[in-house]
């Protein structure tokens, strides 16, 4: 299935039904009076977060959603039928933005969460509504109120506990394939990963979290270089970032600073998230190179640097343990 994390759609709620002019006419009833009923309510446009969806690809082929009109009123004080609502199912983590792409209208971040984006129009009044002691035969009936319409942008942000960031070929996909059952494409050329990947990591029966691997960043990504920073939104919800750095390529401090600059340039609070720095590809370095590059990274970042190898598995349990500690701390904060 093709991954699509952004789509533009048109939505219109239903118009209300019309009220009617009618009079009660029965034999032997001299003064029947008005009995025109009101119109029914138009259908709403609603969005619901569904657990079995993980892409917005369906909205590439269906881009217009219209709710039906409410039924018209009828004689004998009969109100028109209310129209059915249109419920649009989207993946968990979908945000709904106005046409300007900046105004957030709704955030469907939990399973089953539902929002009414556009309300259907109310039904118009029939002439029975206007009868008074001085106006016993009104011939007024109102049209139904029109529904609402707007273009909106759907933007999917994956729900993950930890995010993998780094330059292209830092070994992120290899690491994800080792620690989870995910099967991302792995190759020795830049930008092998073209769209985000999710993997479920189980440390024990009670310790489980989701990790997201996004395409690699390069210098100028926040200005559109390479694949740009459009996929960084998928790690905005993460509790912690795992920053993998290719130790075998050298210039590890420059690599770390490049990615940090892109996180800060993107915004969204990514630069302030807890970060675990891991010097990757330890199997391709000598002990002296590992020591020197680790020391240089710790001096530049002011943080502890872990050494790991996705291929050999060296240091993987320690990294996962550090990630779990941050995730557990974040979950406890949310429960307060």
Residues ≥6 apart with Cβ < 8 Å to 205: none
Distance of alpha carbon 193 from alpha carbon 177, whole angstroms: 12
Q: State yes or no: 283 annotated in a binding site.
A: yes
Q: State yes or no: 215 annotated in a binding site.
A: yes
- Pair 72, 18: CB distance under 8 Å: yes
Q: State yes or no: 168 annotated in a binding site.
A: yes
Q: In what order do the strands lie in the sheet with 162-165?
A: 197-202, 208-213, 162-165, 240-246, 275-280, 305-307
Residue 88 Ramachandran class (φ > 0 left, ψ -120 to 50 alpha, else beta): beta
Q: State yes or no: 169 annotated in a binding site.
A: yes
- Pair 253, 296: CB distance under 8 Å: yes
Q: State yes or no: 112 annotated in a binding site.
A: no
CA distances from 315 to 142, 199, 254, 304, 324 (A): 73, 19, 23, 14, 14
In DSSP terms, 91 is beta-bridged to 50
Q: State yes or no: 294 annotated in a binding site.
A: no
Q: State yes or no: 193 annotated in a binding site.
A: yes
Q: State yes or no: 274 annotated in a binding site.
A: no
Q: State yes or no: 192 annotated in a binding site.
A: yes
Q: State yes or no: 213 annotated in a binding site.
A: yes
Q: State yes or no: 311 annotated in a binding site.
A: yes
Q: State yes or no: 198 annotated in a binding site.
A: no
Q: State yes or no: 320 annotated in a binding site.
A: no
HSE at residue 159, side-chain half, CA atoms within 13 A, is 15
- Pair 37, 74: CB distance under 8 Å: yes
Q: State yes or no: 72 annotated in a binding site.
A: no
Q: State yes or no: 182 annotated in a binding site.
A: no
Q: State yes or no: 310 annotated in a binding site.
A: yes
Q: State yes or no: 194 annotated in a binding site.
A: yes
Q: State yes or no: 167 annotated in a binding site.
A: yes
Q: State yes or no: 53 annotated in a binding site.
A: no
Q: State yes or no: 116 annotated in a binding site.
A: no
Distance of alpha carbon 289 from the chain centroid: 42
Q: State yes or no: 301 annotated in a binding site.
A: no
Distance of alpha carbon 265 from alpha carbon 110, whole angstroms: 28
Residue 295's CB is within 10 A of a number of other CB atoms, namely 11
End-to-end CA distance of the chain: 39
Q: State yes or no: 55 annotated in a binding site.
A: no
HSE at residue 207, side-chain half, CA atoms within 13 A, is 12
* Tokens (6 digits) for 108: 């469907």
Q: Return binding residues for Mg(2+).
A: 173, 193
Q: Return binding residues.
A: 166-173, 191-195, 213-216, 280-283, 309-311
Q: Return binding residues for GTP.
A: 166-173, 191-195, 213-216, 280-283, 309-311
């Amino acid at each position: 299935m093709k991954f699509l994390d952004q789509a533009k759609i048109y939505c219109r709620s239903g118009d209300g039904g019309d009220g009617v002019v009618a009079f009660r006419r029965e034999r032997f009833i001299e003064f029947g009076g008005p009995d025109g009923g009101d119109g029914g309510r138009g259908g709403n446009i609603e969005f619901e977060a569904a657990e079995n969806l993980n892409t917005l690809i369906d909205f590439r082929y269906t881009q217009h959603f219209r709710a039906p009109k409410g039924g018209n009123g009828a004689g004998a004080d009969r109100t028109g039928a209310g129209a059915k609502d249109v419920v649009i199912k989207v993946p968990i983590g979908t945000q709904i933005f106005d046409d300007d792409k900046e105004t957030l209208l709704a955030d469907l971040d939990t399973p089953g969460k539902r929002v009414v984006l556009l309300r259907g129009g109310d039904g118009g009044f029939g002439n029975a509504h206007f009868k008074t002691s001085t106006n016993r035969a009104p011939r007024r009936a109102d049209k139904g109120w029109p529904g609402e319409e707007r273009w909106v942008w759907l933007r999917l942000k994956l729900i993950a506990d930890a995010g993998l960031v780094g330059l292209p070929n830092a070994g992120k996909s290899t690491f994800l394939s080792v620690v989870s059952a995910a099967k991302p494409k792995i190759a020795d050329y830049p930008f092998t990963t073209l769209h985000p990947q999710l993997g479920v990591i189980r440390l024990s029966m009670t310790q489980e979290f989701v990790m997201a691997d996004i395409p690699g960043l390069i210098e100028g990504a926040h200005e559109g270089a390479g694949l740009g920073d459009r996929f960084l939104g998928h790690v905005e919800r993460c509790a912690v970032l795992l920053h993998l750095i290719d130790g075998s390529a050298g210039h590890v401090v420059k690599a770390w600073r490049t990615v940090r600059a892109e996180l800060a340039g993107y915004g969204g609070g990514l630069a302030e998230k807890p970060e675990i720095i891991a010097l990757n590809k330890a199997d391709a370095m000598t002990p002296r190179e590992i020591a020197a590059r680790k020391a240089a990274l710790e001096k530049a970042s002011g943080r502890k640097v872990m050494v790991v190898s996705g291929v050999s598995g060296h240091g993987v349990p320690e990294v996962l343990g550090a990630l779990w500690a941050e995730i557990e701390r974040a979950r406890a904060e949310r429960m307060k």
